[in-house]
Structure 1
Amino acid sequence: MTNKITELFKIKYPVIQGGMIWVSGYKLAAAVSNAGGLGLIGAGSMYPEVLREHIQKCKKATSKPFGVNVPMLYPDIEKIIEIIVEEGVKIVFTSAGNPKTYTSFLKEKGITVVHVVSSVKFALKSEAAGVDAVVCEGFEAGGHNGREETTTFTLIPMVKEQLKIPVIAAGGVGTGRGMLAAMVLGADAVQIGSRFAATEESSAHSNFKKTIIDVKDGDTQLTLKELAPVRLVKNNFYNQIQELYQQNPTLEEIKDLLGRARAKKGMFEGDLDNGELEIGQVAGLIHKIKPAKEVLDEIVAEFNTVKALIASI
């Protein structure tokens, strides 16, 4: 499966694991990279020195390429970038910010840069900023999302039509069939988050992993658009948000309800009532917690089987 993305990252399969907060530690990143994909450490939920520790452990756990996902809206961003350079990380995915901010600096250090976008407009801005590829994340995705609510399978062909650099599809992809569909529409690779969140190597709490495999269609909703759109499982905290919206709240009132560390409380500590549980719509297709290698192998096998089946029609 050689294409622009496998050559860019020096990986076997065009499958990238999402750099999810509180979920994507070095164990998951190393497992995915060892299996032939590209593993990402999620820096968004790590203090700088914790990130350094994860990078160092990942380098010991795999000889394969891996990267770091950096949401630019988080504090300590300058220190995080400094550590990435110091530790010799070769691949960085940036998100939730202006791609111009660090792209030139990182590329001068010999780092491959990918930026996450949710619209054609920001995809074009990212290409102009000099990134090597873009991740186009649709409305189906878990975690922070675009306000436009454009679906992945609408977004991919529109971006592909406009850009010359490689396009990675994210949001709603968790199977080989989904991967093939995304690539038929123009994607050069897929980025998968939710399916890897429910793996043995994921650092998510066991309560959250069980919730993922219990989620059905309609059990998640995109909300908190006034702050940063996020897709949440409908739990007690989600219900509190909806009740607050009935009161036409101010931005400060929404921030007060969100408080601090809601995502940590839910996904990392396992508080299923009061925590923020971020997951994508594709969770309805996840039925079992498995090793990351097994998940990746199944995705690739299904991709190849369905591709061959379609070719024979």
Structure 2
Amino acid sequence: MSQNKITTLFGIEYPIIQAGMVWASGWKLASAVSNAGGLGIIGAGSMYPEVLKKHIEKCKNATNKPFAVNVPLLYPDIDKIMEIIIAEGVRIVFTSAGNPKTWTKHLQEHGIKVVHVVSSVKFALKSQEAGVDAVVAEGFEAGGHNGRDETTTFTLIPMVKEQLNIPLIAAGGIATGRGMLAAMVLGADAVQVGSRFVATPEASSHQNFKEMVVKAKEGDTQLTLKELAPVRLLKNKFFENIQELYTKNPSKEQLIELLGRARAKKGMFEGDLEEGELEIGQISGLIHEIKPAAKIVEEILQEFEEAKQEVINY
């Protein structure tokens, strides 16, 4: 595969980026994806500053390839997180859930490439104005926290591409080589893959959660809790409790009370499949096996080349 804007920007071999997912994206997964030629990402959203520091140190020991850290900008200890990232010499940061103007220039002054995750054309343009090096445009199919407008990846990518001048990474519903080819035909320079990498031995999420992802079928996930922060969840007892509460026209406070604290940790990290919050994408219906991250990268690339050849031969 020839080099393009994203592989050149990050110094990686293939335009495959592993998403920074809470409770799944520790140093083991990030280093495995980076060693396979993609860009691994440590997800700081579920880490205290001192925990993130240890993950960065271990990742540096496990790979000599580029890797990144994903930082939700709503993080309470954001100053400490950024201090650690700079001190540890991380070269690439993906920001999300906040205003990219706040940290982009500061990180770039320390030689760090900055990418911001968005779910709309409006916020892609705001990110470009803030000076980011690239944008991740994430469609409604994606797992975890999501856009309120429910714009699908297939629609969002060409709309963003039409107006953006900087490199574009597609995310949401991409887990295969055919999905990668489709995204790049629509205008993406690379793809960000999340859910597929949850079902790996290297993901830090609980085995119970991984097995439930593998068993998921089409229609087993749904976007909910829009009044708080839209999140796509596997349907379980907790999800059904949310749906039951919605029949009573709940206040925002009642939804917050039901959600409680550490609900995602309980589900994805501790393996409580009944009462936990299980964040995963719609593409989970196409994930049938837990397999090593390097094997997933290899299979995506192989299928991408085969699909590209099929299109050429039409």
Which amino acid in the other structure matches residue 101 of structure 1?
T
Q: Which residue of 1 aligns with 2:186?
A: 185
Hey, what's the Cα distance between the residues in 2 that align with 1:195 and 1:54? 21
Map 1:286-301 → 2, pairs under 5 A: 286-301=287-302
SS at match of 1:70: strand
SS at match of 2:162: helix
Aligned length: 313
Hey, what's the Cα distance between the residues in 1 that align with 2:182 and 2:224? 27
SS at match of 1:182: helix
The Cα offsets for residues 177-218 of structure 1, whole Å up to 9 and x where unpaired, read as 000000000000000000001011000100000000000010
Superposed structure 1 runs of 4+ greater than 6 Å apart: none
Map 1:272-287 → 2, pairs under 5 A: 272-287=273-288
Q: Which residue of 2 aligns with 1:14?
A: 15
How far residue 74 of structure 1 moved from its aligned partner, in angstroms, is 2.1
Map 1:74-89 → 2, pairs under 5 A: 74-89=75-90
Map 1:121-270 → 2, pairs under 5 A: 121-270=122-271
Identity of aligned residues (%): 73
Hey, what's the Cα distance between the residues in 2 that align with 1:294 and 1:140? 24
Which amino acid in the other structure matches residue 232 of structure 1?
L
Query: Is the counterpart of residue 91 in structure 1 residue 85 in structure 2?
Result: no
Hey, what's the Cα distance between the residues in 2 that align with 1:78 and 1:33? 26
The Cα offsets for residues 129-181 of structure 1, whole Å up to 9 and x where unpaired, read as 00000000000000000001000010000000000001100000000000000
Hey, what's the Cα distance between the residues in 2 that align with 1:137 and 1:265? 25
Q: Which residue of 2 aligns with 1:309?
A: 310
**Which deviates more from structure 2 when the two are superposed, residues 241-250 or residues 27-36?**
241-250
Query: Is the counterpart of residue 41 in structure 1 residue 42 in structure 2?
Result: yes
Say what the alpha-carbon RMSD is for the aligned residues: 0.5
Which amino acid in the other structure matches residue 228 of structure 1?
A
Hey, what's the Cα distance between the residues in 2 that align with 1:170 and 1:306? 19
Hey, what's the Cα distance between the residues in 1 that align with 2:145 and 2:73? 12
Hey, what's the Cα distance between the residues in 2 that align with 1:139 and 1:245? 21
TM-score, scaled relative to structure 1 = 0.99
Unaligned runs of 5+ in 2: none
The Cα offsets for residues 27-59 of structure 1, whole Å up to 9 and x where unpaired, read as 000000000000000000000000000000000
Hey, what's the Cα distance between the residues in 2 that align with 1:130 and 1:15? 23
Hey, what's the Cα distance between the residues in 2 that align with 1:81 and 1:268? 24
Q: Which residue of 2 aligns with 1:120?
A: 121
Which amino acid in the other structure matches residue 56 of structure 1?
E
The Cα offsets for residues 200-257 of structure 1, whole Å up to 9 and x where unpaired, read as 1000100000000000010000001111110000000000111111111111111111
Hey, what's the Cα distance between the residues in 1 that align with 2:134 and 2:153? 16
Hey, what's the Cα distance between the residues in 1 that align with 2:228 and 2:297? 33
Q: Which residue of 1 aligns with 2:103?
A: 102
Which amino acid in the other structure matches residue 6 of structure 1?
T
Which amino acid in the other structure matches residue 24 of structure 1?
S
